[in-house]
Structure 1
Amino acid sequence: MQIDAALVLEDGRVFRGESYGAVGACLGEVVFSTGMTGYQETLTDPSYHRQIVVQTAPQIGNTGWNDEDGESGRAWVAGYVVRDPARVPSNWRSKRSLDDELVRQGIVGIAGVDTRMLTRHLREQGAMRAGVFSGSHLASAAEMVARVLDSPRMAGADLASDVTTPESYVVKALGERRFRVAALDLGIKSNTPRMLAARGVEVHVLPLTSTMDDLLAVAPDGVFLSNGPGDPATQTHAVELTRSVLERRIPLFGICFGNQILGRALGRDTYKMRYGHRGINIPVIDVATGKVAITSQNHGFALEGEPGEEFSSDFGRVLLSHYCPNDNTIEGVRALDVPAFSVQYHPEAAAGPHDAATLFDEFCDLMSRHAGANLMSEAR
């Protein structure tokens, strides 16, 4: 039986459709993702915490839901918006339909929406607060808009503490261990430790509340700053912890939210983007080589600055090393006098693309060079 539903935006725009997933109400920031595949990874990415995700691909759910591809142990999106859900999933790994999984996890969604029109509206007006209402939660447009306007904004939201691991855990290296890394969990995706482990890295995933003593107790060869949700301006502790790592010249690599944390530790501000970058087809240019990578991204905040800009920090010279040619958004930071670099995109992307996967090799090279430098210093 069809159950009516509505997506209501804070500017008063209402999109009608039918319930998909759980029946109820949800509130969050409505954003669009341009990925043609990988909806399970999107739903389970902690970086989407408190966001209502609109899939621009017209048909979603074709491959159902399996128990292997999640980027965490649960779905994190606040709500889900699709145009044409698959009637029957078809994949040898599928365990159940996407609709059934959304119901099981209590994710409120809506189907039958003109997602092309909705995406154009968000591109023109910017990401905004919204709500999905279905069944008995449907009310007058004025009442639903009022509920949306009462919900918190994404700017100023401290969300990493909601998604970080409560306890530290270890992902062992595959084969012989080459390095040990302390990974600060700001909302880490499961594939990140796997990508490091495949390169002989033992990964100690630590809670956001970890101190410098906690990191040093791991005796790390390097430190990793993960992706995550919310406003990086709220992460005072993570920024100060990063500064302590830089002072000790421990090799550091960050992605996505971690890129913003490193940038702030080096003295740069961040800002809220109009509608952000979310999808698996976003170009990035390396200013040093001119090489273009097609990347997976999910961020609504970015670092201030100009592509290729060099500036001085408390830790020496810094280069804004990568940018997106679509809008000149900064996509990478490289410290030139201490061993630290980061990117705004996802080299661990699942289901892809994999253009940037070699950044994990670069991190391993950085740890190897730093270990060699330490040995020569000790010998002298």
Structure 2
Amino acid sequence: MKARLLLEDGTLFTGKSFGAEGDMTGEVVFNTGITGYQEVLSDPSYCGQIVTMTYPLIGNYGIARDDFESIAPSIHGFVVRRYEPTPSNWRAQYNLGDLLKEYNIPGIHDIDTRMLTRIIRQHGTMKGIITTSSKSDQELKGMMAATSIEELRNQVAQTSTKHIYTSPGAKERIVLVDFGAKSGILRELNKRDCDVIVVPHDTTAEEIRRLQPDGIQLSNGPGDPKDVPYAVKMVSELLGEYPIFGICLGHQLFALACGADTQKLKFGHRGGNHPVKELQSGRCYITSQNHGYAVTDSSIAGTKLEVTHINNNDKTIEGLKHTEYPAFSVQYHPEAAPGPYDNNYLFDRFLEMIQEHKRLNPQRSRQAELMAAAKGEL
């Protein structure tokens, strides 16, 4: 079946369909990963986006449910050069096309993805529409125009959990604020036997205090951090009370809560091969990233933030720490493993920070233990 991808600048790509039929509008972005298309599809941070894979062969190892980063994909479309419908992998349960059909996601292949990527790099991300229908280009342009920016920016509420749930452990109690969290964050905390309480994106500071956490994890998530001002308020109110570790969107929210600013990148960072330098050690890490916004360099001056990591490609800020309070963040995904597991140390650093905070605040730790015992939790 024929499929088309129309960009808002009028550029039209005609190829073949390999997903669901119909029309879908979204923000067209590209991902530079060679593998990991299943993790990309299931990453909630891609909510509202049409993802182009720059690596030409996609689908060759199929789909394995164990590798999902969320319950269901949130992307609005998938664009590849060559789609392989017959996977060669003993773990594969079905093919990529079947996954897209199951979740009503359109896919298009057999187009020039190099040309598409060059357009996005030159002009920046833009709206687009994938269709398998016979609608005219003019009708498709009208459908794109009718899709408001607000519809494409309300993603945090769409991807966050609606209810509090727990993943019990015997050690530190961590409140994980879910702005569209990848499962990998919860897995890393579980590996360390943390007692994790996952809360919705709009949970207030007072509600978090009632849970008596030892530390607070701010998750990744889709969209512009300025679209969730209530989360910035929550972080600013808890800053200094509890150790805080922010990832991706959580990093940006942490920066805003400390008085810094954020900006939209021209085409974002998306892929499993982004080099990041840790300033203290001088070491370069290869990281997994997925974001369209970054903390503005010039806004750090006058705050109590210190830059800890930078992107080796464009020198944007990749890590921050507070100079007075136990709080830090990174723009990339330390829970992801695009090959090595080198970035897992950040979760250990977070737990060490919690232990140090307890040592310096023994009264607070003892009060938390007594309250938990009174509730029958110890």
TM-score bucket of the superposed structures, by smaller chain = over 0.9
- Pairwise CA distance, 1:287: 2.0
RMSD between superposed Cα atoms in Å: 1.8
Structure 2 residue 247 is the aligned partner of structure 1 residue 255: yes
Structure 2 residue 258 is the aligned partner of structure 1 residue 281: no
Structure 2 residue 54 is the aligned partner of structure 1 residue 56: yes
Give the distance between the partners of 2:150 and 2:58, measured in 1 at CA.
Answer: 26
- Pairwise CA distance, 1:213: 2.5
Give the distance between the partners of 1:378 and 1:158, measured in 2 at CA.
Answer: 38
Tell me the amino acid that sits aligned with residue 317 of structure 2: I
- Pairwise CA distance, 1:178: 2.2
The TM-score normalised by the length of structure 1 is: 0.92
Structure 2 residue 77 is the aligned partner of structure 1 residue 79: yes
Of 282, 285, 309 in structure 2, the residue corresponding to residue 322 of structure 1 is 309
Structure 2 residue 173 is the aligned partner of structure 1 residue 180: yes
- Pairwise CA distance, 1:150: 2.8
Give the distance between the partners of 1:148 and 1:206, measured in 2 at CA.
Answer: 34
- Partner-residue secondary structure (3-state), 2:343: coil
Give the distance between the partners of 1:72 and 1:158, measured in 2 at CA.
Answer: 18
Structure 2 residue 269 is the aligned partner of structure 1 residue 265: no
Tell me the amino acid that sits aligned with residue 138 of structure 2: A
Q: Contact conserved, 1:6 with 1:138, CA < 8 A, in 2?
A: no
Give the distance between the partners of 1:160 and 1:260, measured in 2 at CA.
Answer: 14
Structure 2 residue 9 is the aligned partner of structure 1 residue 11: yes
- Pairwise CA distance, 1:280: 0.2
The TM-score normalised by the length of structure 2 is: 0.93
- Pairwise CA distance, 1:98: 0.8
Of 205, 227, 233 in structure 1, the residue corresponding to residue 226 of structure 2 is 233
Alignment of 1:195-206 (within 5 A): 195-206=188-199
Give the distance between the partners of 1:82 and 1:158, measured in 2 at CA.
Answer: 26
The size of the alignment, in residue pairs, is: 366
Structure 2 residue 299 is the aligned partner of structure 1 residue 297: no
Of 139, 142, 146 in structure 2, the residue corresponding to residue 146 of structure 1 is 142
Structure 2 counterpart of 1:366:
353
Q: Deviations over 1:197-230 (max 9, x none)?
A: 1112111110112122221222111001000011
- Pairwise CA distance, 1:325: 1.9
Q: Contact conserved, 1:156 with 1:234, CA < 8 A, in 2?
A: no
Q: Contact conserved, 1:310 with 1:319, CA < 8 A, in 2?
A: yes
Q: 4+ runs of 1 displaced by more than 3 Å?
A: 153-156, 309-313, 350-353, 376-379
Give the distance between the partners of 1:98 and 1:154, measured in 2 at CA.
Answer: 30
- Partner-residue secondary structure (3-state), 1:365: helix
Q: What percentage of residue pairs aligned between the two structures are identical?
A: 42
Q: Contact conserved, 1:276 with 1:300, CA < 8 A, in 2?
A: yes
Residues 1:149 and 1:72: Cα distance change in structure 2 (over 3 Å):
same
Q: Contact conserved, 2:47 with 2:75, CA < 8 A, in 1?
A: yes
Structure 2 residue 152 is the aligned partner of structure 1 residue 159: no
Residues 1:156 and 1:111: Cα distance change in structure 2 (over 3 Å):
closer
Give the distance between the partners of 1:157 and 1:103, measured in 2 at CA.
Answer: 24
| Unaligned stretches of 5+ residues in structure 2 | 367-378
Tell me the amino acid that sits aligned with residue 284 of structure 1: V
